[in-house]
Structure 1
Amino acid sequence: MSTVTFENIFHGDGPDIGKLRFNAAGFGWKTYTSEDTPTTYNGHDVRHATWLRVARNFQLRLAMRQAEKPRITFDGFKRDDHDKVKRTLDEYFNIKMETRDTSLKGWNWGKAQVQGNDITFQIQGKTTFEIPLSTVGNSNIAGKNEVALEFNPPPPFPHDPKDLSKRVPDELVEMRFYIPGKSMKSKGSDAGSDGEETDLDEDGNEVSAADAFHNMIKEKADIGAVVGDSIVVFEDILVLTPRGRFSLEFYPDSLRLLGKSTDYRVPFTSIHRIFLLPKLDDLHVQLVLGLDPPIRQGATRYPFLVAQWPKDEEVDAELNLSDEELAKYPDLQRKYEAPTFQVISRVLKALTGKKVTPPGTFRTAQGLNGLKANVKAVQGELYFLEKGLIFIAKQPILIDFSKTESISFSRVGGGIASAKTFDMRVVSKTEVADHVFTAISKEEVQPISAFLKQKNIKLLNEMEETVMDIDEPLSDEDEEMESIASEDEDSGKKGKKNDKGKKAKPAVQDDDDESDDEDFQSESSDGGSPSESDSDDEDSGMASDASDPMMEELQRKQAKRAKKESGNSSDAEKPKAKKAKKGD
């Protein structure tokens, strides 16, 4: 039997290159690097063939008759292979190959529609790109006329299906379509196609083109686990992050959050942590799911999903599972009649295989499982778990003790409010930025310290030094003391000047002549005393320049003027002082 072989061909979206071989019975592909059996197909199952230009040269697209494998693609053909491929399909399978032109204009406006199992975007009747509906994970109305499509992450490479790090490094995660206007259709045509009538909903209201496109995607794409029946559904659940009321639909491999205008699909493989924590009001219970990759809404990422129920709310639930399916989950039971948070957490634990983390042994000074704290301007609840911390707010924060360098207590700021609270800084080993939790009650220092010491966490307590700075505010007194000190310093300087004036006649006191002592005392008590003149000099800024001849001349003139004004009594006293100096 003759065969036709094509080298260096890719199969599907895989990265491996191999050999494609045709014969009259069918065709098969085998990679160069693997010794496994080649992937084979029956030639009679081919319904249609298309040749088109793609990123990896040219592609042969084969539409198959099997529902489980509706389309098969082979990339890597050269332009010269076109005639050979066309002749081979016609000869072996009696299939006429169609050549499809691709638009390369690069415009971002055109026509988007659903064709078969693909979303096609066409410009002037030529296809620009196609998106398989099976890759669409979610569809949302992002704006008045915008439809946002989120895509499922591709699976790991076939040679290592469990290694998530082997995924394609660059992935398309979201695409938005702006679709203005109203949905128009004629009778019997699909919504969104050209027609003469305006499309109306069940209430008789006009349907926008964006809503019609969104509804079509939801119906035909594999959003959530739409294909198949759900295991159990919980209606009207309050979800705090992302905020809204949703129906929780559980499927064998995913969780679906169906809201009024949003529809999230959460694969169980993306749930890596589950926490069940009581709120501080002792009336509600919170269920926190850590997600990787996070769910997205526009540009906002939600790495955590937080739901809340009243503690005393109960639910009756029955699982839609056969006996054989129920036997696969030993922790599940067919009927539940218990508080809602217990039922949902048990179902999640059984379906995901993940442990549900309860609150730790930590207790606050009031005996609660957590305490109130702030991160910047956001108030939330901080819980100390056995292996880390979790701060629940609009965007929760999870901190692992194994990745924590140290935790320090401090009080910054001032005033009465800061005297009653303190700040806790968590220094991470891996992250550049620290996490700072503020406005924690001061009475929680001892319980937190005791708990962290049990976990062998490096603890730095800066409270004592800060408490002294805050509890004894001395700002006003400090200013007063500084002013007093400055006055003392000034008086000390003046005292030194007076001492200099007194020390000018120490020899008089050494002499036994008492009259000379009286004369010295009378001189110091006189209105024109040396101390007064010195102070005047100091006030005028001249005291430091006494050795300057010009200053000495100025001082002599001032002294003569003082003599004339003082009269005869002062003239009679000054010779005595001269005599005392002479006798000295």
Structure 2
Amino acid sequence: MSNVTFDNIFMGESSDLGKLRFNSAGFGWKSFKDESNTPSTFNGSDVRGAQWLRVARQFQLRLSMRTPDRPRLTFEGFRRDDFEKVKRTLSEYFGVTVDHRDVSLKGWNWGKATVQNQDIVFEVQHKPAFELPLGQVANSNIAGKNEVAIEFAPPAASGSNNNARQPDELVEVRFYVPGKSKKSKGSDAGSDDEEETEKDEEGNDISAAEAFHNLIKDKADLGATTGDSIVVFEDVLVLTPRGRFSLEFFPESLRLLGKSTDYRVPFTSINRIFLLPKLDDMHIQLVLGLDPAIRQGATRYPFLVAQWPKDEEVDAELNLDDEEIAKYPDLQKKYEAPTFQVISRVLKSLTGKKVTPPGSFRNAQGVNGIKANVKAVQGELYFLERGLIFIAKQPILIDFTKTESISFSRVGGGIASARTFDMRVLANEGPDHVFSAISKEEAGPISQFLASKNVRLKNEMDELEAADAMDIDDLSDDDDDDVSIMSEDEGRKKKKKQQQQAQPARRAADDEDESEDEDFMDEDSSDGGSVSDSDSEASGMESDASDPMMEELRKKSEARAKKKASGEADGAPKKKKAKKD
């Protein structure tokens, strides 16, 4: 056979199909997508071993190589019937035997995790369930008493097309490793009875999780965390992520070692360094901007915030000789100064990044920053020469070049809104930010500073005050009408009140009038009765005397008149006596 070709084959993790060809000198792969591309070729003498196993994209051929830059090559997309052809080709051309590996398909989440060559292999009943390449491990730390968290390098952002959706990738795996670490007494020992607990230098038992964590760090070559550190600062208070850590500086990275967590921060991921005094004038904060961010579970920390008292001093001596120190600018062998100055200077020399101090802004009390809230989170807002930074549990960094405008507004009503205002930052791209509960006296210094930085500013509070003044003028123009209306209302109320007060007197007078009227009517009626009777007699009552009814009425009238006359005569002294008493 001169050439053996397999079509529709994927190389590595690529999504492009291509053609894989073998000959006696070596093999090569070329994509179908772009025929002008040069194929990837490899020497057959570099092939050290081969494995055939079932994967998601049908079957995979895994080749172990002797080249250090490419220790392993994978090709996927083979059919089941291709096994014999692949096995015969590699045996005849390169003298390599293809091993058929069975994969566990049970889906169990318990098994045994080991490090084999350049992979972390998770086995279930002595069959591999999945493998994790150590070359892509970015960090490893003990997340709990028996948990080992392995973080992977995030995918590189595509600068050509920012709108393109990035593929989903695994960023963290946690292994629960209980128990103590065991080691064999001898090389021939194979049973648990011939194993003993592994101990550290101080004689303490080493947990299985710690032993697995150390093995991953050694095999994954996680920077210089396994070598000697340049300098160590103990018991540093870190606000984000919260805790106390030891800061260990290595030539290529910074390590944060806590009681239960261990973070490794490569210097290449540190893009910004800020040194800011707190508003209490007693502490100094060091803020590191990280890209990619460090993770703790599902929480990302794009900023690292540490804090020291302003008057705390430290004596530090670097574990470097004169030749190594000469490689770094402004790096000294020994430091004796405040802690925040020493750490910031060491960071500046090792990372090559500029340390950004607070800007020229001063608030009403002459301090660099102001107090503000973002939603329900209270923090400190600093005005830098090129942007804003809000220091809280999750800091926020805003660049003036990416800001469309900044507006002041007063939300709500009452005394609180009269003393404070809100500052809204409108961004050209991305979300807007609202900083609330800012003291009203800070509006002047903030306006002057933003105007000096040519930032577009809109003060809605001035517009509101102008509108209130116009409303007051309108009210003053209508004072006469209001007074006349009020006068009418007051007159109406006064009249109603007088009427209410006059009602009792009127009632008393009415009672008197009624009594006098009765007496008057009684007198009139008596007199009138006699007059009418006499008149009736004179007018011809006698002509009606023959009528029994008329006669009876006349008698009753006369009797009633006599009775009233006798009653008035008897009652007059009694009435006078009552008045006298």
Query: 1:108 corresponds to which letter in structure 2?
Result: N
- Residue 444 of structure 1 is matched in structure 2 by 442
RMSD between aligned residues: 4.3
2:406 aligned with 1:406, yes or no? yes
Please list, as runs of the form range in 1=range in 2, the aligned pairs for 1:413-432 lying within 5 A after superposition.
418=416, 421-429=419-427, 430=429
Check the 8 A contact 1:150/1:173 in 2, yes or no.
Answer: yes
Shift of 1:85: 0.8
State which drifts further: 111-120 or 139-148. 139-148
- Residue 19 of structure 1 is matched in structure 2 by 19
SS of 1:264's equivalent?
A: strand
Check the 8 A contact 2:447/2:457 in 1, yes or no.
Answer: no
SS of 1:276's equivalent?
A: strand
What is the rounded CA distance, in whole Å, between the counterparts of 2:464 and 2:493 in structure 1? Answer: 37
Identify if the C-alpha distance between structure 1 residues 114 and 50 changes in structure 2 by more than 3 Å, giving closer, same or farther.
same
**Once the two structures are superposed, what CA deviation does each residue of 1:533-571 show, in whole Å capped at 9, x if it has no partner?**
xxxxxxxxxxxxxxxxxxxxxxxxxxxxx7699412588
- Residue 215 of structure 2 is matched in structure 1 by 216
Structure 2 regions of 5+ residues with no counterpart?
469-484, 522-581
- Residue 527 of structure 1 is matched in structure 2 by 507
Match of 1:170 among 152, 156, 168: 168
Shift of 1:249: 4.5
Shift of 1:49: 0.8
- Residue 129 of structure 1 is matched in structure 2 by 130
State which drifts further: 84-93 or 142-151. 142-151
Identify if the C-alpha distance between structure 1 residues 243 and 252 changes in structure 2 by more than 3 Å, giving closer, same or farther.
same
- Residue 495 of structure 2 is matched in structure 1 by 495
- Residue 144 of structure 1 is matched in structure 2 by 145
Shift of 1:213: 2.6
Query: 2:394 corresponds to which letter in structure 1?
Result: Q
Shift of 1:220: 2.2
- Residue 306 of structure 1 is matched in structure 2 by 305
Identify if the C-alpha distance between structure 1 residues 297 and 169 changes in structure 2 by more than 3 Å, giving closer, same or farther.
same
- Residue 280 of structure 1 is matched in structure 2 by 279
SS of 1:452's equivalent?
A: helix
Check the 8 A contact 1:229/1:251 in 2, yes or no.
Answer: yes
What is the rounded CA distance, in whole Å, between the counterparts of 1:332 and 1:163 in structure 2? Answer: 40
Check the 8 A contact 2:225/2:255 in 1, yes or no.
Answer: no
Please list, as runs of the form range in 1=range in 2, the aligned pairs for 1:183-194 lying within 5 A after superposition.
183-187=181-185
Identify if the C-alpha distance between structure 1 residues 266 and 15 changes in structure 2 by more than 3 Å, giving closer, same or farther.
farther
- Residue 371 of structure 2 is matched in structure 1 by 372
Query: 1:107 corresponds to which letter in structure 2?
Result: W
What is the rounded CA distance, in whole Å, between the counterparts of 2:182 and 2:517 in structure 1? Answer: 123
Match of 1:568 among 508, 516, 519: 516
**Once the two structures are superposed, what CA deviation does each residue of 1:116-146 show, in whole Å capped at 9, x if it has no partner?**
2211122232221110112222223333333
What is the rounded CA distance, in whole Å, between the counterparts of 2:149 and 2:106 in structure 1? Answer: 23
Shift of 1:290: 1.9
Shift of 1:305: 0.7
What is the rounded CA distance, in whole Å, between the counterparts of 2:449 and 2:105 in structure 1? Answer: 64
**Once the two structures are superposed, what CA deviation does each residue of 1:166-198 show, in whole Å capped at 9, x if it has no partner?**
8952111112223334444432589x9966545
TM-score (norm: length of structure 1): 0.71
Identify if the C-alpha distance between structure 1 residues 248 and 188 changes in structure 2 by more than 3 Å, giving closer, same or farther.
farther
Larger radius of gyration, structure 1 or 2? 2
What is the rounded CA distance, in whole Å, between the counterparts of 1:45 and 1:325 in structure 2? Answer: 41
SS of 2:446's equivalent?
A: helix
Shift of 1:460: 2.3
What is the rounded CA distance, in whole Å, between the counterparts of 1:567 and 1:384 in structure 2? Answer: 93
SS of 1:567's equivalent?
A: helix
What is the rounded CA distance, in whole Å, between the counterparts of 1:208 and 1:7 in structure 2? Answer: 49
What is the rounded CA distance, in whole Å, between the counterparts of 2:181 and 2:319 in structure 1? Answer: 39
Please list, as runs of the form range in 1=range in 2, the aligned pairs for 1:469-484 lying within 5 A after superposition.
none
State which drifts further: 89-98 or 117-126. 117-126
Query: 1:49 corresponds to which letter in structure 2?
Result: A
Identify if the C-alpha distance between structure 1 residues 464 and 109 changes in structure 2 by more than 3 Å, giving closer, same or farther.
same
What is the rounded CA distance, in whole Å, between the counterparts of 1:323 and 1:434 in structure 2? Answer: 48
Identify if the C-alpha distance between structure 1 residues 443 and 168 changes in structure 2 by more than 3 Å, giving closer, same or farther.
closer
- Residue 451 of structure 2 is matched in structure 1 by 453
TM-score (norm: length of structure 2): 0.72
Check the 8 A contact 2:377/2:392 in 1, yes or no.
Answer: yes
- Residue 53 of structure 1 is matched in structure 2 by 54
What is the rounded CA distance, in whole Å, between the counterparts of 2:194 and 2:358 in structure 1? Answer: 61
- Residue 9 of structure 1 is matched in structure 2 by 9
What percentage of residue pairs aligned between the two structures are identical?
A: 61
